[in-house]
Every structure is written in structure tokens, then in C-alpha cells.
A and B are shown apart, each in its own frame.
With several copies, the nearest count.
Chain A
Amino acid sequence: MKYIIAVIQPHRLEAIREALAGIGVQGLTVSEVRGFGRQKGQTEIYRGAEYVMQYVPKVKLEIAVDDAIADAVVEAVGAAARTGRIGDGKVFVLDLEGAMRVRTGEMGADAL
């Protein structure tokens, strides 16, 4: 199994989720993160003082998937997340050794 981590533009989240549902991904976990990279943050100005926001609000997806569909998932996320603008984000693939569904105790791919 693979553990796929994607860092994306917040407003692409729904599109990605639908794309993933399309290829049979049943679940995922989402969190709010701040990204640092080529894309620079907005400048805020308070009483004449500029505050350059070093970080850009991003959304992080964590998706555990069976090896079989791993590449398809990476593809799907990439396609749905892409706007072509700097800051579109990254997709990372890690190896996943084990998984368990808490409710049933099922192990491995059945747990996903």
C-alpha cells in the first residue's frame, strides 16, 4: 500500500475529492497547513506597516491506497489540483506497511 500526501490550493479541495471518488477512493484525511515555497504570501498593511506573510494557506490531504491504484491517485490529484499557477502544490508518495480499520480491526488493504 502507499501513503499519499498532497499539499494543494484550498479551493481545489472539492474538485480533487470528486476526482478521487471517481476512481474508487473511499476516504481521506484533510488538514489546514501553511506552505512555504516559490509562491510568496500576500502582504498585509496595518497602520502603514507592511507584513509580508511568509506562508500561504494550503490544504494537506492524506490518502492511504492500495498499490494497484496508487499511480492513478497521484495522476487524479495532480490533474484536479492543477491551475498552472505557482503554488499549485506537491504530491508525495510514501510506502505504507500496515493499515487497520479501528471499528472492525480489519488489517491491510481491507481497512481502507
Chain B
Amino acid sequence: MIDAGNTAWLITATALVLFMTLPGLALFYGGLVRAENLLSVLMQCFAIACLVSVAWLAGAYSLAFNAGGPLIGDLGKVLLIGVPRDAVAPGTTLPESVFFMFQMTFAIITPALIVGAFVERMRFSAVMLFSLLWLLLVYVPVAHWVWGGGWLAAMGVRDFAGGLVVHLTAGVTALVLAILLGPRLGFPDDVRPPHAPWMTLAGGCMLWVGWFGFNAGSALTAGADAGMAMTVTHISAATATLVWIVIEWMKFGKPSVVGAVTGAIAGLASITPASGYVGPGAAVVIGIAGGTVCYFMVGVIKRRFRIDDSLDVFAVHGVGGATGVALTAVFMDAALGGVGFPEGGSMSGQASIQLIGIGATLLWSLVVSFVIAKVVQAVTGLRVSAETEEQGLDVRLHGERAYNM
């Protein structure tokens, strides 16, 4: 039976998660690139959102969430045909149309997150083709494993709002693409600084607010679970931000806006998988852990390994998400203010399940996104010409300039 209160919250949560991508993530990323590439980033996020939406209706939703086996769902709900207008989503008090849309917004933001790895140099056609294949071959299966009744779910893995499904898949793929594409011209010494940190902060704030829909919405009800998910989400973000500020203050004497907002995102990504299972105290610890680990991983990837994962998708989302998935096994312990382990479960037992989840997701994302990238390379080519890269993608690929003053 449909509950109006829960439905009211989930419709709102859906709007909030869409808002995370459009315009939240688009502006967050857009502020970090050169002014000559701003529109290309916005365009990638916007077009990916549209492409995924249509694909979601055309079958992706059905493959991820409709019955099927341990590995993949079936095609029973292609185009939502056969789903009556007032159908109730199985196991919820929501109209299926709302559940369909809520899940769609997750499927939209995940490939959009990957944009951060290849900004300023990837062909638009390649972005479109890659994102579509990636949705079907990486996102959909992993979503089915974890949330669609697949093998990881059966095993009891805990990923409340997408540490595995969203952040780890995106993060790993980002690393693969960054390596295959190669660095931007001039990387690492001669790349231009973020052209509009103010825009990055504005987008980051929208991500934060929208994240309430992401995590608290994942409760699928408007009650205590949603309330606590919102609470731990916010606390983790705030804590990780302070961590990042403190580190920069100590290291450089100058805490930065870009750093602070990056810390917030790290804290949000880290708490995401845990947000339905842990308490406020744990949120502080997870925020500290996520903030610290992500901070140092940025340096490791960019400066130690010299991989131009341009906007640090792996270091922030991949690492943060995995950290959260692992720590969930610890802090879901009732003794630590969590919801407690399932009947007969234990911390060590849950920990190994969580690690299997991380390993499987990591491996699958790595291999499949590598293969997809190679295919796309063969079909459209991955990278724009050096001249286009110099002049900027906006004018060359989209015939526009972001600023015509």
C-alpha cells in the first residue's frame, strides 16, 4: 500500500539527487577546469544525464532491479511496460514510478562522477558512447548484485546508499580512463589552476544538500532511519571538511576553499555506504578517516604516480567509498551505536563480506571499463587533437564560449 508521507519524501529525495548532478556536480567540476573548457564539462554532465535517463527506461532499470538471477536482472520491465500506473514498488510503500525515478538519479550521477577523470581532453562522442556502455556493463550489474537481490546482497553485504555501486565503480573507472587517455598537455607542472573556485564551492554546497536525498532517501521511508541517515551524513561531511582545513592550515598556512569543499565531498562519499547503519559518534570517526585518507591519496595518485585523474575522482570517491564500506563492518556494531549485525553475524564476518564486496566491485569495474575504453577508442577515438586541447573544448567541440564579456 502506498504511503503519502513516504512518497512525499521520496519524490523530494529524487529531486534532490537530480539536483546533485544538475547543476551541482556540473558546477563543482566546472569551476575546477580552465574557463575555455567549462562548457564542455557542463555539457558532458548534462548529456550523460539525458542519455542515462532514456537508457534507464529502455531497460537498464529492469536489468538492475527486476527479479533475475544472482548476476543480472531480467527485461520484464523494459519501458515500464506492464507496470500499472499505481503499481507499488516491491517491498516498499512507494509507487514504482517513484522508486524507478529515485534509482535513476543514482544511475545518472555515477557516470557523471567519472567526468572528473577525463575533463579538458576527451572527445564528446567518446564520452557519450563510453557512458552508455558503462551504464549497462558496469553500473547495472553491480547495482543488481548489491541492491537488486544479486549475489552480494544474498551474501549480506551492506552498502546503504552506494559506496560500492556509486563511488567505488566510478572511482576505479576514473583511474582506468585517466591512464588510458594520458595526462593533459602540460601536466603536472603547466596545467592551469581552477578557473572559478567560487563555482566549485557553490556546486559543492548543492551536492551536500542534495546528498540528504541521496542517503536519507535510501531509507525509502520518512522516519527514524531517514533522520539518522541525514544526521550521520551531515556530521561526516562537516568533520571531514574540518580535517582538510586543519591539514592545509598546518601544511601551507592557508586553508583553501577548494580544499574545504573537497573535504566535504570526501566525508560524504565515505559515509554513504554506512549512513543507514551507524550512529553520530561513528560519523565523526568516519569523517576523520575519510577526510584524512582521501587527502593523502590525492597526492599519491597525482604527484607520486603522476596519473592525471584530473579532478581526483578515484582519490576522493573511490577511496572514500571503499573506506566507508569497510568501516561499516565496524560501526554497525550496536555496541558502537550502530544497528547491530544481522542474526548470527559478527564484526569479523561482516568485515570479510564487505571486503569481498569491495574486491568484486573493484575488479569488475577495472576489467570491464578497460575493455569498454578500448572498444570506444577503436570506434570514436578517445582524445581530441592537441590544437583543440590548446584552444579549449568549448569553442572547438561545442561552438560556444562560457564567457562572452
Instruction: Please determine if A and B sit in direct contact within the complex, based on CB atoms under 8 angstroms apart.
Output: yes
Binding site for B on A (CB under 8 A): 11, 14, 42-49, 51
Interface window among B8-16, B256-264, B279-287: B256-264
Q: How far is the CA of A51 from the CA of B191 in the complex (A)?
A: 9
18 A–B contacts from the bound complex (CB under 8 Å): A11-B390, A14-B190, A42-B395, A42-B399, A44-B193, A44-B399, A44-B400, A44-B401, A45-B254, A45-B400, A46-B193, A46-B197, A46-B256, A47-B259, A47-B298, A47-B302, A47-B312, A49-B302
Which residues 214-271 of B sit at the A interface, judged by CB distance below 8 A? 248, 251-252, 254, 256, 258-259, 262
Cβ contacts under 8 Å, A46 to chain B: 193-194, 197, 256, 258-259, 400
Residue B299 lies at the interface, judged by CB distance under 8 Å to chain A: yes
Count A/B pairs, Cβ under 8 Å.
41
By size class, the interface of chain B is 20 to 34
Contact A45 B252 (CB under 8 A): yes
Q: How far is the CB of A48 from chain B (nearest CB, A)?
A: 5
- A47 and B192 CA atoms in complex are apart in Å by 13
In the complex, what distance in Å separates the CA atom of A100 from the CA atom of B36?
30
With a cutoff of 8 Å between Cβ atoms, the chain B residues found around residue A47 in the complex are 258-259, 262, 298, 302, 312
Asked if B188 lies at the interface with its beta carbon under 8 angstroms from chain A, I say: yes
Interface SS majority for chain A: strand
- In the bound complex, residues from chain B placing their C-beta under 8 Å from that of A51 are 192-193
Report if A45-B256 is in contact (Cβ < 8 Å); known contacts: A14-B190, A51-B193.
yes
Inside 8 A of B192's CB, which chain A residues have their CB?
51
Q: Chain A's nearest CB lies how many Å from the CB of B145?
A: 32
The complex places the Cα of A11 from the Cα of B34 at a distance, in Å, of: 13
- Further contacts, 14 of them, CB under 8 A, given A42-B396, A46-B193, A46-B259: A11-B390, A42-B399, A44-B399, A44-B401, A45-B254, A45-B400, A46-B197, A46-B258, A47-B259, A47-B298, A47-B312, A48-B298, A49-B302, A49-B303
- Nearest CB in chain B: distance from A32 CB, A: 9
